[in-house]
Amino acid sequence: MQGKKIVLTSDPTMMSSYHGGAILGFAATLPKSIMPDFAFRLLCCPPVAAASDGSALLAPCGMRKVEAALLEAGFDRSEVMVAHPDHLDKAIGPETEIVGITHDDPLGKIALREIEEMIGRGEPQNRSKFLALINHPLIKEHMPRLVVGGMGAWELVGEDVPVDHIYLGEGEGDFPGICRSIINGDEVPKVIRGTAVAGGDIPVNRGPTIAGIVEVGRGCWRGCSFCSPTMQTLRHRPLERILDDVTVNLKAGQRDVVLHSNDVFTYGSPGVKPDGEKVKKLFREVKRLGPRTVDVSHLSLAMVHQNQDLLREVSNIVGVGRDQRYMSAWIGIETGSCRILQMHMPRKAFPEDPENWPEIVRDCYRLFGEESWLPVASLVLGLPGETAEDVLQTIELVESLKDYTGLMMPLFFSPIAETRLGSTIGFGKDQAFPEHWELVGLCLEHNLRHRKALYRFYSERMTAGPGVHAALSGINLIADVVLNKYLKRMKRGEPPN
Ligand code: SF4
């Protein structure tokens, strides 16, 4: 086996179907020590299917874009492979020049980092699996150049990990040229910064994506100090290309579609005010292709608040309550403090006043409840300058949302290299106020209170058999008992251990 010239892959926490329930992907942030590997693989992150040649039948959307860009740039199909992590023996050989790894959180610095600090049970699954991949015996034997890209590649800058290149930014424009340079033996810097491509130049995928993710556009103009999309200008893809990607997925047997951008309601507009007709056309045309469900990856609460009728119309087009039980979207609440909003996210509430933020959030939750939308909300804890009083205001806001089904994800602030707060020191257990623990406990309580409804919602998209569902229900009950112990302590303002 000579190997493919360019192998694109990732570890099993990224190359998983998650049984069709993306929520299971959060298990990748749990400590490795709390669940045996076979159970983690069987229940939380089952690998995507593999073809007989060792290629992965599903891949993350970003990896598909890089694959398409390489093929469009003139590399031959026989030179490029999206490889299944269990079958690298069919991909990596003496002729392999480059192994490109896509990762969202290779060292576990972003998602639910507080779990590691809170429970104190060692490194998370995603870090452990990533390190195992870059130290894979075939990589050690054949010594291809290791390039790590994707949303989490910044985590590797300055870290002592055996990778040759860290690729920051977008891959479609520059990555093919970087591959040519590496293959030609030219000097290539350790940290590479890929430039942004125009929306119309984001290529159509050559294979289906995990979770049916289809990219609609990139970038966000709201400029929050801690967020990497602020570095990107807002761009959208032409409708035909979006529909082509949906078709690629559906033809491969995917039934669910997730339209991905930083705010789907900005589709086809400069971003402040939606072009309602274009947004509705997007959903209408996607729906016409016949997916079982349609979701969106991200929405801006300010945009929803200003355009409540548009959300209702989109619900109607998608058939929420008729063709699918609910529709989900990741939203950023981030804080209940208008002072912190003003300091770090001055355009988050625009065109409304930051002072109205708690009311904007509450109104949107009311609308989500009426329209059967399931919000997955992020909260950022420990932004520079945050005081106990700010955290109390976030607690008050979260408490006021307790009857609405959804997920609350409290995230310790991590400075991302490419953001305005890039050089700041991140937030950890040692800096936490009692109010931070109270807030984490409250979020945990919120999630446990709604866990049955959440599970019912996610079951609509899940492909797991009855055995896996039964085991997950069992884990759910155990988690309930264990987490209740932690949350009681945290709600008293004490650290969990
Ligand atoms: S609104 Fe969201 S995507 Fe946009 S900059 Fe702020 S956190 Fe980032």
Nearest CA to ligand 1 atom 2: 332
Provide the whole-model pTM: 0.94
Answer yes or no: is 497 within a domain: no
| Domain extent for 143 | 6-194
Domain stop point among 170, 194, 218: 194
Total residue length of the chain: 497
My answer on whether 356 and 447 are in the same domain is: yes
Ligand 1 centroid vs 226 CA: distance in angstroms? 8
> Whole-angstrom Cα distance, residue 6 to residue 52?
18
Map residue 166 onto helix, strand or coil. Answer: strand
Q: Is the dihedral of CA 380, 349, 449, 437 positive or negative?
A: positive
My answer on whether 42 and 146 are in the same domain is: yes
Burial code (b: 16+ CB inside 10 Å, e: under 16) for 402-431 equals eebbbbbbbbbbbbbbbbbbeeeeebebee
My answer on whether 370 and 437 are in the same domain is: yes
> Candidates 151, 218, 220: which one to mutate for ligand 1, based on the most atoms within 8 Å of Cβ?
220
Answer yes or no: is 418 within a domain: yes
Q: How far is CA 215 from CA 395, 423, 462, in A?
A: 34, 30, 21
Q: Supply 323's token pair.
A: 């063709």
Ligand 1 centroid vs 262 CA: distance in angstroms? 7
My answer on whether 92 and 169 are in the same domain is: yes
Residue 100: what are its φ and ψ, rounded to 5°?
A: -100, 120
> Whole-angstrom Cα distance, residue 333 to residue 300?
9
My answer on whether 290 and 328 are in the same domain is: yes
CATH number at residue 373: 3.80.30.20
Answer yes or no: is 215 within a domain: yes
How many domains is the chain partitioned into structurally?
2
- Nearest Cα residue to 26 out of 128, 124, 97, 152: 124
The answer to whether 196 and 230 have CB atoms below 8 angstroms apart is no
Domain stop point among 194, 224, 241: 194
Ligand 1 centroid vs 376 CA: distance in angstroms? 15
Instruction: List per-residue pLDDT tens for the chain, 497 residues long.
Output: 899 999 999 999 999 988 887 777 777 777 777 788 888 888 888 999 999 999 999 999 999 999 999 999 999 999 999 999 999 999 999 999 999 999 999 998 876 566 666 666 678 889 999 999 999 999 999 999 999 999 999 999 989 999 999 999 999 999 999 999 999 999 999 999 999 999 999 999 999 999 999 999 999 999 898 887 656 789 999 999 999 999 999 999 999 999 999 999 999 998 889 999 999 999 999 999 999 999 999 999 999 999 999 999 999 999 999 999 999 999 999 999 999 999 999 999 999 999 999 999 999 999 999 999 999 999 999 999 999 999 999 999 999 999 999 999 998 888 776 677 776 677 888 888 999 999 999 999 999 899 888 877 777 887 777 777 777 777 777 777 777 777 888 888 888 77
My answer on whether 290 and 432 are in the same domain is: yes
Ligand 1 centroid vs 173 CA: distance in angstroms? 24
Cβ atoms < 10 Å from Cβ of 205: 25
> Whole-angstrom Cα distance, residue 7 to residue 3?
8
My answer on whether 179 and 219 are in the same domain is: no
Answer yes or no: is 384 within a domain: yes
The answer to whether 427 and 413 have CB atoms below 8 angstroms apart is yes
Q: Is the dihedral of CA 302, 308, 310, 313 positive or negative?
A: positive
Give Cα 8 distance to the centre of its chain. 19
